[in-house]
Structure 1
Amino acid sequence: MAMYAIGLSVLQEEISYEKTQVKQVAYADDLTGAGKISELRKWWDFVKKNGPTIGYTTNATKSILIVKPEHYEIGMRLFRDSGVTVTKNGQRHLGAVVGTPEFKQKYVEEKVSEWVKEVGVLPT
């Protein structure tokens, strides 16, 4: 865990906001970016190219680009050859949920339903 933190901090410095206009945060071995779609594509390519030199490899199958519905086509076009999943609905991220109000509502309803079932199993 500490080695990931050290490596990712070096990578994050290399991908500074001045170079990509992407705000980024890292947790353990997860790297997250936010910004304009075209800048995120530059950021993705930079991470993919430079990450392996410090032991960080991207996994496109576990990477998701969440876009506003009106930007979905642009996201699909810019990331079409990347292997990254593009969604306009939302996705769970580090225990929280990011996306449309409808996606968030459905996520919360499903979670509460799971909890109700689990509590129902407890002895009374």
Structure 2
Amino acid sequence: MAMYALGMSALQDVIAFEKTKVKQVAYADDLSGAGKLQDLSHWWGLIQANGPTIGYTPNAAKSFLIVKPEHYDGAVNIFSGSGVVVTKEGQRHLGAVIGTEEYKKEYVGEKVSEWVHEVDVLSARAQDRASRSLRGIHAWPATSVELRHTHHPGHQPSPQTAGGIYKEHFIPSVTEISRPGE
């Protein structure tokens, strides 16, 4: 891993902002850049040319260029033949999402639905085995619900989904306490 880090620092020198005018972030083997289309095209070319020599192989099919709708046609033209996927809707990025408000709502809605399903399954199993479910709860990423919502300040989760599933199903199943009226 140390050798890979050294190689990545050499690549970072080649694609530095001062040389490419692309603002960038690197996390492990993920590189992200933001800037003007021509600058991004040059940056991508440098990554393709210099990455493999240090063991970093860029994968165009997993590379997404997220652009504003008014820049979409230009981006498709500039990046044609590169294999980079150009989108004006959005894409997930390191556990979050970048794109239009509609895309963000769709993405977050899918995540919340997955969490609701997971808690529902856990609740159903907990009805018969409450204490074992409590011991196993650490395996479910409950805190990710709160953490991920902090990354989407404009999104307000529906109480009938994430919060409601805890209150209506999970807590009663692990505590063996019924809601009033049952």
Q: TM-score range by the shorter chain?
A: over 0.9
Distance 1:54 1:86, change over 3 A: same
- Give the residue type in structure 2 aligned to 1:66: I
- Equivalent residues of 1:34, 1:40 under 8 A apart: yes
State whether structure 2 residue 72 is matched by structure 1 residue 95: no
Give the superposition deviation at 1:86.
Answer: 0.3
Please, what TM-score do these two structures have when normalized by structure 2? 0.65
Higher RCO (Cα < 8 Å, 6 or more apart): 1
Q: Deviations over 1:30-72 (max 9, x none)?
A: 1111111111000000110111121111111111101011110
- Size of the aligned set, in residue pairs, is 124
Distance in 2 of aligned mates of 1:38 and 1:20: 10
Is the partner of 1:91 in helix, strand or coil? strand
Please give the residue correspondences for 1:1-124 in structure 2 after superposition, counting only pairs within 5 Å. 1-122=1-122, 123=126, 124=173
**Structure with the largest fraction of strand:** 1
Distance in 2 of aligned mates of 1:7 and 1:112: 39
- Equivalent residues of 2:67, 2:87 under 8 A apart: yes
Give the superposition deviation at 1:5.
Answer: 2.6
Give the superposition deviation at 1:99.
Answer: 0.6
- RMSD in angstroms over aligned alpha carbons? 1.1
Structure 1 residue ranges (4+ consecutive) displaced by more than 4 angstroms after TM superposition: none
Q: Deviations over 1:60-104 (max 9, x none)?
A: 111110101111001100001100100001000110101111110
Distance in 1 of aligned mates of 2:16 and 2:88: 27
Aligned residues with identical type, % of pairs: 66
Distance in 2 of aligned mates of 1:13 and 1:38: 19
Distance in 2 of aligned mates of 1:3 and 1:102: 42
Is the partner of 2:51 in helix, strand or coil? helix
- Equivalent residues of 2:14, 2:46 under 8 A apart: no
Please, what TM-score do these two structures have when normalized by structure 1? 0.94
- Equivalent residues of 1:72, 1:88 under 8 A apart: yes
Distance in 2 of aligned mates of 1:26 and 1:113: 30
Distance 1:79 1:63, change over 3 A: same
